[in-house]
Amino acid sequence: MKTLRIATRKSALALWQANFVKQQLLSHHSNLTVELVPMTSRGDQLLDSPLAKVGGKGLFVKELENALLANEADIAVHSMKDVPMEFPEGLCLPVICEREDPRDAFVSNQYTTIEELPEGAVVGTSSLRRQSQLLKLRPDLTIQFLRGNVNTRLAKLDDGQYDAIILAAAGLKRLEFADRISSFISPEQSLPAGGQGAVGIECRTTDEAIIKLIAPLHHAETALCVSAERAMNRRLAGGCQVPIACFAQLSDQQLAMRGLVAEPDGTHFITSQQSQQVSGVDDLQTAEKLGVDLAEDLLNQGAGDILSKLYQ
């Protein structure tokens, strides 16, 4: 076939992910040529306002989806955590690659762990999910707004504006900043966002040849876990940046999942934990049911009240 065009955002992490997909494709198809089509998303332009206020996470994928629909690119590479629950007509996401470390990471130039931070220390994050879980552990901390790509956030930490910041371990590892990680935060202390650490590939639904071409990059176990997580988010309508967290893991045909909805100030937490036997890594139906059941358990415990207050 002709050159395969990959739509990508221009941030270092997005380019890393697009190049990763490119290299994987080249290793499976020796005669293929692949080209990146870098573009700026609205999410990248509006770096000074909280994502929830500027329209949620669809902002990172919309421009790339428009490029696919306009046939200016053939596939788009996304962080699954930024991908909304519904796809525009004509597009699908048939491939989810193997997950990198799903945990949040604590990054500081002076302190090793959250526990070690002095009373009233300033921690940078703009994620209500991270904020609520930090404040639950340490109600004395001051959470300060921090957005921008991974490199910008590290530079702001080094500027001395924060005592520590929280970032996804996956992004730091991929950009070779693993040495900046002071400690990994366990999922029990900071439950990740659905899809965190996983990269997905979106394309046109009718492009059968392309769907076949990218199929070898699919990692069924990751897709199973991420499907459960996305099903929970969809049931909670957790499209925007809200304090919703979940994490699914497969071991011996048993898919185990934890989920939570929290008050941003960390005073009220609703959590649920469930598991389901799956028939295999392709048992997406059971995975999605697990996600929905978990969401319904959270709603039965009152998660709807927290969420509707936030959406107002």
Ligand X SMILES: NCc1[nH]cc(CCC(=O)O)c1CC(=O)O
Instruction: Report the catalytic residues.
Output: 82
Quick one: 29 or 219, whose CB is closer to ligand X? 219
Touching ligand X, residues 190-249 (CB under 6 A)? 196-197
Closest distance to ligand X from the beta carbon of 170 (Å): 4
> Which of 24, 41, 79, 108 touches ligand X (CB under 6 A)?
79
Closest distance to ligand X from the beta carbon of 151 (Å): 11
Which residue stretch of 67-75, 77-85, 108-116, 295-303 sits at the interface with ligand X (rule: CB under 6 A)? 77-85
Which residue stretch of 62-70, 75-83, 85-93, 133-141 sits at the interface with ligand X (rule: CB under 6 A)? 75-83
Rounded alpha-carbon distances, angstroms, from residue 199 to 14, 73, 81, 145:
10, 18, 8, 26
**Residue 251 and residue 109: Cα distance in Å, rounded?**
36
Q: What is the token pair recorded at 187?
A: 């999922």
Which residue stretch of 66-74, 165-173, 246-254, 288-296 sits at the interface with ligand X (rule: CB under 6 A)? 165-173
CA dihedral 55, 58, 64, 70 (to 10 degrees): -80
In 3D space, the residue among 103, 106, 104 whose CA is nearest the CA of residue 115 turns out to be 106
**Residue 246 and residue 226: Cα distance in Å, rounded?**
10
Kindly write down the DSSP assignment for every residue of 128-194, as one continuous string: HHHHHHHHHH-TTPEEE---S-HHHHHHHHHTTS-SEEEEEHHHHHHTT-GGG-SEEEPTTTSPPPT
Q: What is the token pair recorded at 79?
A: 């962080």
**Residue 62 and residue 82: Cα distance in Å, rounded?**
11
| 180 and 172 Cβ atoms separated by less than 8 Å | yes
Size of site (CB under 6 A) for ligand X? 9
> Which of 121, 168, 224, 244 touches ligand X (CB under 6 A)?
168
Closest distance to ligand X from the beta carbon of 180 (Å): 12
Q: Examine residue 132 and tell whether it contacts ligand X (CB under 6 A).
A: no
Quick one: 196 or 222, whose CB is closer to ligand X? 196
Q: Examine residue 286 and tell whether it contacts ligand X (CB under 6 A).
A: no
> Which of 59, 96, 167, 226 touches ligand X (CB under 6 A)?
167
Which residue stretch of 74-82, 200-208, 250-258, 270-278 sits at the interface with ligand X (rule: CB under 6 A)? 74-82
Binding site for ligand X (CB under 6 A): 79, 81-82, 167-168, 170-171, 196-197
